[in-house]
Amino acid sequence: MSGILEGKRILITGVLMESSIAFHVAKLAQEQGAEIILTAFPRPTLTERIAKKLPKPAKVIELDVTNDEHLARLADVVGEELGGLDGIVHSIGFAPQDALGGNFLNTPFESVSTAMHVSAFSLKSLTMACLPLMQNGGSVVGLTFDASFAWPQYDWMGPAKAALEATSRYMARDLGKQNIRCNLVSAGPIGSMAAKSIPGFAELASVWDTRSPLEWDLKDPEPAGRGVVALLSDWFPKTTGEIVHVDGGLHAIGA
């Protein structure tokens, strides 16, 4: 039986460590029959080393999603490698240290602007840069951390994720006519490089120990990766503008 991504061509951002959700998306995508290309910034060599642990070789290209020159050449570079695209995985988020860790009321706008640009606006700019390669439609899937709530220590990444979620809905609205679906996976906390950059991450993650209906493993990114791969596939042909929670069910539970 062929995989659910057989014949698909997928661009995946955010492969930084073996513990990252994006790495598991890349691994599962290859196992399910996809051809993939990875983007990395600011250290493509780090991603190249991690990519050697994938089932098959994968090309890594440098991409700063805030750099207009990088975005302008992206379609040509990816087109030469894959010919076209059927899917995009947005696993990009960043906030300066003064925008995290309990400094919400004192964070300067410059830091907030950076968080918004990298973490939210980039979903639109990345997709538009790849749009010429998606002539037959496709699926865009991003990763969020439930922006319905104010989380301990998460500070301006919360509003940035809220902006990402709204951006995904508006993209779903505007790209549907081209048969391009836009969805997000809201994952529970994972002990990845991104998580380690959040001061007080352990306090945030501890909520899952007592409130998650399903046992949650901080060291297991695969469930979230499976959610992304499912949304990249043709098994959700009429689902767009959606946020699929892969968080052990915590989003459904009150105090």
For 69-102, letters b (16+ CB in 10 Å) and e give: ebbeebbebbeeebeebbbbbbbbbbbbeebbbe
53, 154, 170, 219: the catalytic one is 154
Calculate ∠ Cα 64-146-159, nearest 5°. 60
pLDDT tens digits, 97-110: 999 999 999 999 99
Split into its structural domains, the chain has a count of 1
Residue 8 assigned as binding residue: no
Cβ atoms of 162 and 190 within 8 Å: the answer is: no
Residue 25 assigned as binding residue: no
- The type of residue at 84 is G
Whether residue 79 lies inside any domain: the answer is: yes
Whether residue 4 lies inside any domain: the answer is: no
Cβ atoms of 55 and 31 within 8 Å: the answer is: yes
Whether residue 132 lies inside any domain: the answer is: yes
- 154 catalytic residue (yes or no): yes
Q: Is the pLDDT of residue 130 over 80?
A: yes
pLDDT of residue 29: 98
pLDDT of residue 202: 80
Could you tell me what percent of the chain has a pLDDT over 70? 97
pLDDT of residue 200: 73
**Domain interval for residue 25:** 9-247
Could you tell me what percent of the chain has a pLDDT over 90? 89
CATH number at residue 221: 3.40.50.720
8, 27, 124, 161: the catalytic one is 161
pTM of the model: 0.96
Q: Is the pLDDT of residue 192 over 80?
A: no
Whether residue 169 lies inside any domain: the answer is: yes
Residue 65 assigned as binding residue: yes
Whether residue 255 lies inside any domain: the answer is: no
Whether residue 219 lies inside any domain: the answer is: yes
- 170 catalytic residue (yes or no): no
Whether residue 2 lies inside any domain: the answer is: no
pLDDT tens digits, 193-213: 666 667 777 888 888 989 999
> What is the pLDDT averaged over residues 157-169?
98
Q: Mean pLDDT score of the chain, rounded to an integer?
A: 95
Residue 192 assigned as binding residue: yes
Return the structure tokens found at 75: 């379609």
Using pLDDT thresholds of 50, 70 and 90, give the confidence band for residue 216: very high
Whether residue 252 lies inside any domain: the answer is: no
Residues 6+ apart with CB under 8 A from 255: none
Residue 95 assigned as binding residue: yes
Nearest to 100 by CA among 146, 42, 158: 158
